[in-house]
Structure 1
């Protein structure tokens, strides 16, 4: 009757099995899959990711910067990288090479055209390159 309660009529395992909430059972001790070890208690077969936020990619702040598949600016890039290596990657010492590399990319539509002063090259701009940029 009521005195023996719920547990007397059905075990918790049978209740869980009926609901589909039990984990997959481990192979019996001594089986080929589990040679001589007892199954570990408390392990679950699924990873729980509580509170993890899904990652949504977003475009870069300055728009597209496609790869230079044809190597159109490879020489400029290599010159810039060589300068960086020779100067312990102190980019302030390689600003001229950086400017030339970015100009090459802009001329070949490998990045959005930007005024060089907006890219931090105001002090390196000569009239010739500024006029050339405006005519493109």
Structure 2
């Protein structure tokens, strides 16, 4: 009798790493406060998640500063210069 995956399918043998590497857990709670603020924002602004973007940016920056996330430019993480976006929309 063999014990395998449901339906008798073979498990995947090759695994791919995440696109940006591994992300260590925040064992010392260095970014817990920012994380909780972000999660609370998401709960209260379900239909307006755009309002939580500054907290998401702050959380990613905290993880980078604490060495829990590789240093990267915020524009590579989806946070373009938001000031430039606002000024561009005013010109239209």
For Structure 1 versus Structure 2, the TM-score category normalised by the shorter chain is: 0.7 to 0.9
Which residue number corresponds to residue 10 of structure 2?
Answer: 53
The residue matched to 1:54 in structure 2 has which SS?
A: coil
Q: What's the Cα RMSD here?
A: 2.6
How many residues align structurally? 81
Higher relative contact order, structure no. (Cα contacts within 8 Å, ≥ 6 residues apart): 2
Please report the TM-score for the alignment, with normalisation by the length of structure 1: 0.51
Q: Which runs of 5+ in 2 are unaligned?
A: 84-92
The structural deviation recorded for 1:58 is: 2.9
Which residue number corresponds to residue 50 of structure 2?
Answer: 92
Which residue number corresponds to residue 81 of structure 2?
Answer: 123
Which contiguous aligned blocks of 4+ residues in structure 1 show a shift greater than 3 angstroms?
A: 47-51
Please report the TM-score for the alignment, with normalisation by the length of structure 2: 0.72
Q: Deviations over 1:46-100 (max 9, x none)?
A: 3587872322443211111111011000011011111101112753221000000
Greater helix share, 1 or 2? Answer: 2
Matched, 1:64 2:42: no
Query: Aligned partners of 1:89, 1:70: CA distance in 2, in Å?
Result: 32
Q: 1:96·1:124 contact (CA, 8 Å) conserved in 2?
A: no
Which residue number corresponds to residue 83 of structure 1?
Answer: 41
Which residue number corresponds to residue 88 of structure 2?
Answer: none
